[in-house]
Structure 1
Amino acid sequence: MTVAGRDTTHMVISTVCAGRDREIDVLTERLRGTSGTDLLVVTGDPGIGKSTLLNRMVDLHRRTAGDAHTLVAQASPWQSRSPGALIRQLTQDTTGATPTNPGGLAESLLAVIPDADEQPTLIAVDDADSADEESLRALITLTREHRSRRILIVVTTARPGIRLAGWTFDELRLDGVGPDAAPEIAAQRGIVLHPVMRDELLAHTRGNPRDIVALLDEVPAGTWARSGGRLPAPRRVVDEVRAALSAPGTPARALIEALAILDANEPLSTAIELAGIDDPLRAIDDARRTTLITADGALTPAEAQPRLTTPLVRAAVLEIMGMTAVGEAHRRAAEVVADPARRLHHRVAATPTPDADLADDLAGLARTRGAEGAWAEAARLYRQAGRLTPDTLERDTRITLAVDSLLAAGDCVGAGALVPTVESLRETPLRNATLAYLAILRGRSAEAQLRLDRAWGIVNAQREPDTAALIAQRYVLHNLVRCQGSELVTWADRAMAMAVEGSAARIEAAVIRGLGLAWSGQPEAARAEYDSITERIRYGAQAQRATMGRGWLQLSLDEIDAARTNLEAAVSMAQLGGSTRISLWALAWLARVQFLTGDWDEAMRGVDAGLALARSSGIELVTPLLDWTACQIHSSRGNWDEADRHIAHSSTSIGDYEIMRIPEMIARAHRAEAAAEYAKVIRTLTPLVTMSETVPALSEPGLWPWVDILANAQVIEGRLDEADRLLHRYEARAAERGHRSAAARLKYARGRHLGATGDIHGARRTFEEGLELLDGLGLRYDQARVNFAYGQTLRRAGKRRAADTVIGTARELYLSLGATAFVERCDRELKAGGLTTSRADRDGAPRDAGELTPQEEAVTTLVARGLSNREVAAELFISPKTVQYHLTRIYAKLGLRSRAELAASRR
């Protein structure tokens, strides 16, 4: 779609093109690839953006090919009977000398087109439906008789399958624009679209750009920043519907109005009863003649299920009916429809003033929907209940619950728009708990703690057990993202003791409690907890929470296949009414599973989906977890700028929760490790040593792989005693828990340590044990890491042949992952080992005295990249003194005097 206005003499003048990249690519490729004269028809409903798309194409072609290769015209109805009018417009003939027969018109058009093959010519015709027949035949003559010229003719028409002068051509059909286009169009008008309103706008207009622009211009700007607003029809549509409607009081008019009032899923019998008509078939026929309703191709009365053609028509009919008639129709509908929820909807729609009984009914249904996990619907019901509640205190409570439900649904943007309203209300425990909830989802630990403590301090658990249980459940979430296992379990037990059976607070506390048990050193109890929970909660939106929590636990316990299955299921459950918040966690942990098992492209797709969901929902809490995976993949592939972008994105969050800080630090360490900046790895991860003393989840094996990264860097930097102390502590914990992947990662670092202390036999035994532990888990990334460290250690000990074999295995694993940065390191290791080169030397001439050895060649390559002696030593797993020794020999062999000259010699 294009946001534009229409010139009176030319086609649409476009300044912005949104949501049509694919179509532009199709046209551009068709133009670039044309070898003769070709014609393409662009079709679509009125207002869909055909003219602006064509104008954008014209603009792009003019920039590359110039005006001479770009001919433009817009057909007009008043010119349709003037032979040759369109061709005269294309040739800019103002003399009237252009012939009127198709052959002569084609020749006159060819005369203004440069006869050169370097650039194709674009002929753009807008609104070809209105073109004169002779001009259309002239264009077709070009395609049939002048095949040697590189010309693409693109015409637009509102009629799909149109035949131009009796000929049929290829067609590019334009549908409505997608979700990325609407915010861009709104931004051009200074409007920020709430994600819910974006979706509502697209569904309401079916993505028609003309209607999108009209509504953005006509509806008050504040409507777009909050969720839950109902959209009207543009004034143009209202005028068209008013002209098409049958006279008031006719059966056709009554049927159309009934269809506008009722839900689309109501049976035809309900609409007939509401309309009060005696001859429904005649009413349907008369209503269909207005073109405002359709029966979807029904050929018999039994198949008829008429409906209004578009949501805009429905909105226009309601506006034309007027408030009095609409209210009365909803009141009658509440007596006619069978479904209790729909009856309630009609009662609400008909009630403009407070109604205590109706408000109570709405609040009761909202509680039920909330317990089922349908939080978005619960939020809408609570807002309606608040509007209809006469008691001030009860109204404030329901407004607060509406915001709370929006947060539970994961809509921080919509909730944030209502926060000023909640903050203006009197202080209550519920108000503080809701504002604490928002702080949690935005990652603000200190604020959440203050608000929760205040809420708990003023609540009376005897009089308000439901509110007390809700606050306790918020403490559960708070401690989940603080990675505090024991405190999480304590608050979960409190919430479950106070909450009634089946309530939302009780269910949410139960589905998180298992993670707290795992972080408290009780993995078997955690497994049993989730077995029980998933058995009890098998269906509905709440099942998504249990499934995601179980997958999270299974990932941390090395149950990789089961974790993948459950996390994939939790992601898919979003389509069944699950929570955005839960979907984000599922996407983030699923990406970790995919990373570890080597499905890196899938992991990146999940990360991209998660980051998009985080942006649209306003939930910042999970962003660093997603960025960690992206950074690790990009670092391993040598995409340094992308890795840095994800680190920067993660660090811009204002969140201070441990579940945000930990992955950000590990991501930075991975980036440094991939670049062989081991001193930076140590600076980055050392704070976790202190943090682990107060954050139990950091000390439990499985979820946060940081100890092996830090210990490995300490060994390479020569800080062997520090590495030994760190490893001893966590080796005991991994052995106690029987955690295979954590133990294997620690053996990776311990093998390094043993090799550095000269115990090559112990190192070999340790590396082999690590590989054996990983066998069968499918953790390809970890397998590659252990093999690489094993090979480096063997090479340093002079075991070159064995080192080549092991590093070759690491190389193949890294290559399968696309980890080019580590593939290059493996290649340098193999070259530095010199075994392959030595064999070649034995088969050929002796090495020249000035030729670099494989080790010297590896040092040269790294120094030329700008690495310091210490960084080169870390990369090649040799000492800085050895690097300097090699450099001295390199300078002498190559006749150089400095690192700068060495770098210049390699450019």
Structure 2
Amino acid sequence: MSGVQPADEDVHLVGRSAQLDRLAALADRARAGSPVVAVVEGPAGVGKSALLHRFRRGRPGVTWVAGLSWERDRPGELARRLLDAPDAGTDPVALGTALVRAWGAAPHVVVVDDALDADPMSLQALASAAARLDDAPLLLLLVRSGAAGAEAVDLLDRLPAVRLPVPPLTPEQTRLLAARATGVDLPLPVARRLSDHVGGIPRHLLEVLRDAPPVRWSDWQTRLPAPTTVQRRVEAALLACSPPARALVQAAAVLGAEPVLADAVVLGEVDEPIAALDEACAAGLLALQAGHGLDALAFPGRFVRGAVHATLAPARRHDLHLRAAEVVTDETDRLRHRVEAAPLPDPTLADELVALAERKAAEGAWAVVAGALIDAARISPSRADREDRLLRAVDALAGAGLLGQAVDALAEVEALPSGPHRDAVLAYVAVQRGRRAEAESYLDAAWERRGTDRAAAAVVCQRRVLHALAEWDGDGLVRWAGRAVEHAQPDAPAAVESRAIVGLGHAARGEVAEAFTAYRAAIAESPSGPQHQRARMGLGWLHLAQDDPDAARRELEYAVPPVSATASAAGRTGSNRISLWALAWLARTRFALGDWSGALEAVDRAELLVVATGLELLRPLVHGTGAQVRALRGEPDAAERHLRLGGAAALDYTVMAVPALLARAHVAEAAADYGAVVRHLTPLAVRSPRGGIDEPGFWPWHDVYANALVRTDRLAEADAFLAPLEAAAARRRHRSTGARLGVVRGRLLGARGDVAGAEAAFARARDLLAPLPLPYDRARTDFAHGLTLRRAGRRRDAAELLTTARQEFAALGAQVHVDRCDRELKTARPSAGTPDGLTEQERTVSALVATGMSNKEVAAEMVLSVKTVQFHLTRVYAKLGVRSRAELAARRAGG
């Protein structure tokens, strides 16, 4: 019953160490007498069987059986093969009982490969056996792959089992597999392109690597072929089709990834379209788009369209594309088909493509611009034209947020002669990748080489605007935006985009009225299209910073593409880059409004877009919100994942460094580790000059840092830090900043014994927050006020505030603060003691110490001094008769 182990398994099993470790742990658990049923999942070809072959190597007692699709209609057949008993019958319960007896008491591993191809009765027998395993030392591994009926899928879904996913390969793992299989060290951009092309599936990757010469892998414009197995299957299916069905499929493949049936019928000259469509769908060559009728077609699987297109003879392909240019109505599609039909350079067609690109650039449709210029460069007879159009195409790719494609082309761009246009393009890509020093170097070089070319100078200025935005340099942003408008024609993209961004520059230097004026003008100038998207995003960000999250949500939701839009689709109609900015700020907006589930939904969408586009600049901003929400919900592992993905270095761009540091501070604050909060935010506090990061509303880190100073008894430092910020918030009349700083001021005064002053500070904070829809800030105010009163001995008043805060935190889902309120309420409510003789405060101290907290950490958590904690702990030891923290932990663990 053993399968055939692939000879090249050692070479091709890449990136599976975590899954192998998990399998070994499951085997150990089963061997110890806890039977385990696990389902190994992943797309076909991802390497599930190879993983299990590696796992069973050198491991005794492994039984291997595979589901066979031609046995699905033979009830109990797979179970009988497992039992090696052809006459074992067809009752699933009896078969399951027999399996348990056959496996016996010896440690054993059973692998059922291609489980969905097994007959349903055998799957029922396996489920019955799993229910009767008791303490048998068995690991049952079911490999989920292959096509199946609904009954088999349902059986596997309902089986109580550990799920072990086998993920697709990452670009780095793709690179390693390519090196092992072919001996070629692929550049990472090429490996990323290959990984995207094959969906990270090792089987498909190996086929493409073996069938395409290495020179093709490094050409970013080359269309990679379908894997050999897919190509052969598609060719066989086409040959088996009737001529009308074959013609319909070929016409659809020529039209594009989402063809319209009516166009395919006309192009393919199909007389009986419904019959042909039915046959093509049955052959697995076409499908209907979900949510549509019969008019919208799709291709089942990522390679089918390309494989069909590859079967077309040159003359047939030329003819179909020429006629498709007459069938389709969209100007971009018409030109694309003419390019596909052009076997030789065509300067006239290239000029038409450039003209289209210029019109679309005025609209900000950068993905369309990029496609037109790439095509124009390919068919341009002049080398100078090819180089110029290539540069403009890569620039447009970066503008659309299709950074992966832009990075793929960098080697070709870097090989071009230095000049303002080339250096500006390289700077643009560097900004989007978050490479501050590299962008600065290219921008300096581009400005020095601009000469008398005003258009080139305008582009360099506009790139400087983006660089200043990433650095949150309001003065630089406004200055370079003015220069861009001065050098460019009024309707040139450099001028239009600079006018759409300049409002943020005004805001970063405190000119809020000018910022709103600039955005009203930008929206009026571009009432629709991608430039309108850009202006609405900026206006939403501005509203959020100016304490109007409801207006911010309205603007930002407009600027975000629909949930169904893919990265490429968003790029065609707008800018992935702007969509990502909008999603990042929408997450913050929803967090502020108390919609934390909505905030996480925006984070999840933005994370996918970051991965799809490679826009590293915004990664920390996206993951910062995720880290904060997960930490406050009491999900430390999920919060740590966001911190890991959203990290940034101190010398990175400001819009990277500030949210990354603030996220770490938020997670540390949720864990009551205020020393860590101070450490994380000190780089911002000592930064000189701090520039726009002190402008109220945009980067709210100051109260977090000042609060941590108070909680670590650095009161003088906190006072000195707060004073100028409070004055700035008052000058700007910024309510939420004034309230947050006021809460810290209240805690500071309370720590100094000025309870009356603290109460006044908390009252002012509440007044400032009263008209604002900021529930988390209100809850924090009540909580801080309650802690301050509890420390001052006003336990009844403290209990009322803490009860209110608990309700507010519970409504938000802030479980960390709910638990904290519960602990505080135990000490705030008057009590004569507890059965073990401890006061409520002594019980709280002992509980926290028993979790492993130091006295300093307990003091920060309970807003007490370290000496007070030590006093309580000494009394706890005496009352309970223990002598150490270890004994205390053991006493509490034992009840």
TM-score, normalised on structure 1? 0.76
Q: Aligned residue for 1:429?
A: 420
Deviation at 1:817, TM superposition (A): 3.3
Q: Aligned residue for 2:779?
A: 784
Structure 2 Cα separation of the partners of residues 172 and 898 of structure 1:
50
Q: 1:746 to 1:233 in 2, by over 3 A?
A: closer
Q: Aligned residue for 2:531?
A: 542
Structure 1 Cα separation of the partners of residues 683 and 804 of structure 2:
34
Deviation at 1:479, TM superposition (A): 0.8
Deviation at 1:775, TM superposition (A): 2.3
Kindly provide the CA deviation profile for residues 278-323 of structure 1, in whole angstroms up to 9, marking residues without a partner as x: x9459987996998798989xxxxx999999888565455444433
Which stretches in structure 2 are left out of the alignment for 5+ residues?
Answer: 7-11, 20-25, 31-41, 135-139, 159-164, 179-185, 289-293
Structure 2 Cα separation of the partners of residues 603 and 370 of structure 1:
33
Tell me which amino acid in the other structure corresponds to 1:114: R
Kindly tell me the number of residue pairs found equivalent between the two proteins: 841
Tell me which amino acid in the other structure corresponds to 1:822: H
Q: Does 1:517 align with 2:506?
A: yes
Between 1:359-368 and 1:529-538, the stretch displaced more is 529-538
Q: Aligned residue for 1:92?
A: 84
Structure 2 Cα separation of the partners of residues 375 and 243 of structure 1:
39
Structure 2 Cα separation of the partners of residues 324 and 519 of structure 1:
60
Task: Determine if contact 2:265/2:273 at 8 Å carries over to the other structure.
Answer: no
Q: Aligned residue for 1:814?
A: 809
Task: Determine if contact 2:503/2:514 at 8 Å carries over to the other structure.
Answer: yes
Q: 1:343 to 1:111 in 2, by over 3 A?
A: closer
Q: Does 1:875 align with 2:869?
A: no
Q: Aligned residue for 2:341?
A: 350
Deviation at 1:535, TM superposition (A): 4.0
Q: 1:755 to 1:71 in 2, by over 3 A?
A: closer
Identical positions, percent: 40
Q: Aligned residue for 2:37?
A: none
Between 1:742-751 and 1:708-717, the stretch displaced more is 708-717
Matches within 5 A, 1:6-45: none
Structure 1 Cα separation of the partners of residues 753 and 92 of structure 2:
91
Structure 2 Cα separation of the partners of residues 424 and 267 of structure 1:
41
Q: Aligned residue for 1:564?
A: 553
Q: 1:116 to 1:538 in 2, by over 3 A?
A: same
Structure 2 Cα separation of the partners of residues 583 and 80 of structure 1:
48
Structure 2 Cα separation of the partners of residues 195 and 569 of structure 1:
32
Task: Determine if contact 1:194/1:225 at 8 Å carries over to the other structure.
Answer: no
Q: Aligned residue for 2:830?
A: 836
Q: 1:117 to 1:377 in 2, by over 3 A?
A: farther
Q: 1:280 to 1:517 in 2, by over 3 A?
A: same
Kindly provide the CA deviation profile for residues 856-900 of structure 1, in whole angstroms up to 9, marking residues without a partner as x: 333434444454544444333333443444444444444555556
SS in 1 for 2:782: helix
Kindly provide the CA deviation profile for residues 328-372 of structure 1, in whole angstroms up to 9, marking residues without a partner as x: 554455466655433322321233443322222222222333333
Structure 1 Cα separation of the partners of residues 91 and 686 of structure 2:
87
Tell me which amino acid in the other structure corresponds to 1:609: R
Matches within 5 A, 1:409-424: 409-424=400-415
Matches within 5 A, 1:81-480: 89-92=81-84, 114=101, 181=168, 189-190=177-178, 201=198, 214-215=207-208, 217-220=210-213, 229-235=222-228, 260-263=253-256, 280=271, 315-316=306-307, 318-331=309-322, 333-334=324-325, 339-461=330-452, 464-480=453-469
Q: 1:876 to 1:389 in 2, by over 3 A?
A: same
Deviation at 1:802, TM superposition (A): 0.9
Task: Determine if contact 1:489/1:513 at 8 Å carries over to the other structure.
Answer: yes
Structure 1 Cα separation of the partners of residues 299 and 434 of structure 2:
45
Structure 1 Cα separation of the partners of residues 643 and 729 of structure 2:
29
Q: Aligned residue for 1:854?
A: 840
Structure 1 Cα separation of the partners of residues 90 and 587 of structure 2:
63
Structure 1 Cα separation of the partners of residues 847 and 154 of structure 2:
59
Deviation at 1:81, TM superposition (A): 14
Structure 2 Cα separation of the partners of residues 620 and 520 of structure 1:
25
Structure 2 Cα separation of the partners of residues 826 and 237 of structure 1:
60
Q: 1:225 to 1:611 in 2, by over 3 A?
A: farther
SS in 2 for 1:788: helix
Matches within 5 A, 1:659-678: 659-678=655-674
Task: Determine if contact 2:15/2:169 at 8 Å carries over to the other structure.
Answer: no
Tell me which amino acid in the other structure corresponds to 2:349: L
SS in 2 for 1:769: helix
Q: Aligned residue for 1:583?
A: 579
Task: Determine if contact 1:292/1:309 at 8 Å carries over to the other structure.
Answer: no
SS in 1 for 2:617: coil
Q: Aligned residue for 2:759?
A: 764
Q: Aligned residue for 1:624?
A: 620
Q: Aligned residue for 1:636?
A: 632
Tell me which amino acid in the other structure corresponds to 2:555: N
Q: Aligned residue for 2:607?
A: 611
Deviation at 1:827, TM superposition (A): 3.2
SS in 2 for 1:443: coil
Structure 1 Cα separation of the partners of residues 850 and 177 of structure 2:
52
Structure 2 Cα separation of the partners of residues 237 and 161 of structure 1:
22
Task: Determine if contact 1:255/1:284 at 8 Å carries over to the other structure.
Answer: no
Q: 1:742 to 1:200 in 2, by over 3 A?
A: same
Structure 1 Cα separation of the partners of residues 673 and 545 of structure 2:
28
Task: Determine if contact 1:443/1:655 at 8 Å carries over to the other structure.
Answer: no
Kindly provide the CA deviation profile for residues 251-284 of structure 1, in whole angstroms up to 9, marking residues without a partner as x: 8877776555445777788778767x7x945998
Structure 1 Cα separation of the partners of residues 788 and 412 of structure 2:
64
Kindly provide the CA deviation profile for residues 794-841 of structure 1, in whole angstroms up to 9, marking residues without a partner as x: 1232222111111222222233334343334333333333x3313x78
Task: Determine if contact 1:790/1:806 at 8 Å carries over to the other structure.
Answer: yes
**In angstroms, what is the RMSD of aligned CA positions?**
5.6
Q: Aligned residue for 2:770?
A: 775
Matches within 5 A, 1:490-505: 490-505=479-494
Q: Does 1:658 align with 2:658?
A: no
Tell me which amino acid in the other structure corresponds to 1:395: R
Task: Determine if contact 1:244/1:290 at 8 Å carries over to the other structure.
Answer: no
SS in 2 for 1:394: helix
Q: Aligned residue for 1:707?
A: 702
Structure 1 Cα separation of the partners of residues 791 and 274 of structure 2:
91
Structure 2 Cα separation of the partners of residues 650 and 311 of structure 1:
31
Task: Determine if contact 2:114/2:146 at 8 Å carries over to the other structure.
Answer: no
Kindly provide the CA deviation profile for residues 121-148 of structure 1, in whole angstroms up to 9, marking residues without a partner as x: 999697999x9xxxx89979999x9999
Deviation at 1:544, TM superposition (A): 2.6
Q: 1:426 to 1:179 in 2, by over 3 A?
A: farther
Task: Determine if contact 1:359/1:384 at 8 Å carries over to the other structure.
Answer: yes
Task: Determine if contact 1:864/1:899 at 8 Å carries over to the other structure.
Answer: yes
Deviation at 1:730, TM superposition (A): 1.7
Deviation at 1:444, TM superposition (A): 2.2
Task: Determine if contact 2:13/2:50 at 8 Å carries over to the other structure.
Answer: no
Tell me which amino acid in the other structure corresponds to 2:746: G
Tell me which amino acid in the other structure corresponds to 1:504: P
Structure 1 Cα separation of the partners of residues 631 and 607 of structure 2:
18
Deviation at 1:760, TM superposition (A): 1.8
Between 1:628-637 and 1:419-428, the stretch displaced more is 628-637
